[in-house]
Copies of this chain bind each other. A is one copy, B any other.
Amino acid sequence: MKKKISLNYGCALKKVVGKEGISKKELQKFSSTFKKGLFSLSQKRTKKIIGFADLPYEKKLCEKIIKKAQQLRGHYDCMVVLGIGGSALGTSAGLEAIKGSFFNHKPGGEREGWLKVIVADNISPDFISEIFDLIPFERTCFSVITKSGTTSETISTFAHALNLAKRRFGGDWKRRFVFITDPEKGFLRELARKEKVESFEIPPNVGGRYSVLTPVGLFPLACAGVNIRKLLEGAASFDRVCFEKNLFKNPAGIFASIHYLLYKKGKRINVFMPYVEKLKTLSDWFAQLWAESLGKQKNTYGKDIFIGPTPVKAKGVTDQHSQLQLYTEGPFDKVITFITCQKFENDIKIPEIGKFEFSKKSFFKLLKAEEIGTMFSLLKAGRPFLEISLPRVDEFYIGQIIFMLEVATALWGEFANLNAFNQPGVEFGKIIAKKILVNDRKVLGNLKKLKLKEYSV
């Protein structure tokens, strides 16, 4: 049998961690709520209301993406992803997890001809200039990714890139762009049709933050040489596991149930702490998934609930020197999830230069010792935690953890009777921004309310 990632939840139980944990009984009792939640989620899946769980089976699409990536590999050295939020975070996470923290620093040969992938996920003016100064424009192609096809940040940076490309290459600009957007609607889809630009589709029933296994994440990752077949295989291998009806055999179910039960007891802060440097960006991806899906004013009955756990990104061992003090001694308002890894591709022996316990041990051994030291600290301080353990960091297991966390998020939403697939709270800000851009008098008149001089120091 193929290995799989596993979730260890002993240290979230009262029996082990003490009164701040939950009892096995509570968890057993919760089993019926879990079953209802899972059933409701399965129904949504069957009815195609949600599509994320079926993405791992899109094998034909996967091959089409790989073919396109192979083709670009010969022609370009660099890809700039123009996208933000769900159109960017999965790519950043997958790229660092699989290709390491310095992939974009490596020369082409060490990348085996695969493309550097630069994710332009902000509109800070000097950030945009920096990127366009940095890239070898002649050898750069662009992925323009927006589900609606109209996202301000993405379309504005695209406008800039398009303008430069047209000036430089005339009608030939088209070969340098790939659009990833809605199959029917929106500005970008229309442009793709009109100008015959290569494009991929984002299924309408897959929201941005659940879209890493659509072309949104798969295409840029394939261009960087990530084995997306294996990524999908990993995810598929966790489908049955995460839709298992026995709570105690379902890691997504246990993850969601424990977090939900502890949230109800006041633990509203969920720390996500990989003990692997290159998994730090996975925390950004998870933070969006968790926060935007579960932070909701209303439940599905329209009642005000103002609910939502706050995800916090940390990384081991680094944040032992930054956040751990707070986690062990601060308020009892947190649940910590460690992401650990059982095997690293490269390890190094630490030479002896003095009387240190780590002399002649390896970095892996030192890392593991500190990881366990941190866990014991939390245990001693009575702070509940979970551990997601990866046999190693590769596409297969990243596929599993992505799938598991997506299902877990959706389940938490079911438990709380909220819609984990919308984001009504961000619309108002977009409207205001547009009004400001067209110099709407009413909004501009209200501006001084924000910047009251008498409260400025």
Integer count of this chain's copies in the complex: 2
Pairwise interchain contact B291-A326, C-beta atoms closer than 8 A: yes
Pairwise interchain contact B457-A248, C-beta atoms closer than 8 A: yes
Quick one: closest B residue to A343, CB to CB? B125
Question: Which residues from 137 to 185 on chain A have a C-beta closer than 8 Å to any C-beta of chain B?
Answer: 150, 152-153, 155-156, 158-160, 162-163
Given A322-B287, A372-B432, does the pair A334, B310 have CB atoms closer than 8 Å? Answer: yes
Quick one: closest B residue to A118, CB to CB? B102
User: From residue A342, how far is it (CB to closest CB) to chain B in Å?
Assistant: 11
Given A330-B295, A373-B436, does the pair A318, B121 have CB atoms closer than 8 Å? Answer: yes
Residue in B122, B278, B428 whose beta carbon sits within 8 Å of that of A277 in the complex: B122
User: From residue A207, how far is it (CB to closest CB) to chain B in Å?
Assistant: 12
Pairwise interchain contact B436-A123, C-beta atoms closer than 8 A: no
- For this complex, into which size category does the number of interface residues on chain A fall? 35 or more
Find chain B residues with CB under 8 A from A377 CB: 425-426, 428-429, 432
Find chain B residues with CB under 8 A from A227 CB: none
Quick one: closest B residue to A275, CB to CB? B124
Pairwise interchain contact A330-B296, C-beta atoms closer than 8 A: yes
Interface bits A351-381 vs B (CB < 8 Å: 1, else 0) = 1111011110111111111101111110111
A67 within 8 A of B: no
Pairwise interchain contact B452-A351, C-beta atoms closer than 8 A: no
- 24 residue pairs from A and B, CB less than 8 Å apart: A8-B456, A10-B455, A85-B321, A89-B322, A100-B127, A105-B105, A123-B370, A125-B362, A156-B363, A160-B348, A160-B350, A191-B354, A307-B331, A310-B310, A321-B426, A329-B424, A329-B425, A357-B434, A366-B433, A368-B436, A369-B434, A369-B437, A376-B428, A387-B451
Top 9 nearest A-B pairs by Cβ distance? A85-B321, A295-B326, A308-B330, A373-B433, A10-B455, A10-B452, A124-B277, A373-B429, A288-B322
A residues contacting B by CB (< 8 A) are: 6-11, 13, 16, 84-86, 88-89, 100-102, 104-106, 121-131, 134, 150, 152-153, 155-156, 158-160, 162-163, 187, 191, 208-209, 248-251, 254, 268-269, 275-278, 284, 287-288, 291-292, 294-297, 306-308, 310, 312-313, 315, 317-318, 320-334, 344-348, 350-354, 356-359, 361-370, 372-377, 379-381, 387, 423-426, 428-434, 436-438, 443, 446-447, 449-452, 454-457
